Structure 1
Amino acid sequence: MKYFIVLALVAAAAADVSHIVRHADADAQIVKQDSDVFPDQYQYSYESSNGIAGQESGVLKNVGRGSNSYISPEGEHIQLSYVADENGYQPQGSHLPTPPPPQPIPDYIIRSLEYIAAHPPAPEPARRA
Structure 2
Amino acid sequence: MWHTQAWLLIIVLSICGIISAEHAEILKFENEKLDSDGYAFSFETSDGISRHETAKLQHAGTPQEAISVQGSVNWVGPDGVQYKLNYLADENGFQPQGEHLPRMR
* TM-score of the pair, normalised by structure 2: 0.69
Structure 1 residue ranges without an equivalent (≥5) = 1-21, 101-129
Q: CA deviation at 1:34?
A: 0.4
Residue 96 of structure 1 corresponds to which residue in structure 2? 101
Aligned residues: 77
SS of the residue corresponding to residue 60 of structure 1 reads strand
Question: Of 62, 82, 87, which aligns to 2:87?
Answer: 82
- Name the amino acid aligned to 1:95: H
Q: CA deviation at 1:63?
A: 1.0
Residue 28 of structure 1 corresponds to which residue in structure 2? 24
Which structure 1 residue ranges, 4+ long, deviate > 2 Å from structure 2? Answer: none
Q: Can you list the C-alpha shifts for 1:75-96, whole angstroms capped at 9, x where unaligned?
A: 1100000011110000000000
Instruction: Determine what percentage of the aligned residue pairs are the same residue.
Output: 39
Does residue 1:65 correspond to 2:104, yes or no? no
RMSD: 1.4
For 2:26 and 2:33, the matched residues in 1 are separated by 19
Larger helix proportion of the pair = 1
* TM-score of the pair, normalised by structure 1: 0.57
Structure 2 residue ranges without an equivalent (≥5) = 1-19, 59-66
Q: CA deviation at 1:37?
A: 1.9
Q: CA deviation at 1:29?
A: 0.3
Does residue 1:52 correspond to 2:49, yes or no? yes
Bigger RCO of structures 1 and 2 (CA < 8 A, at least 6 apart): 2
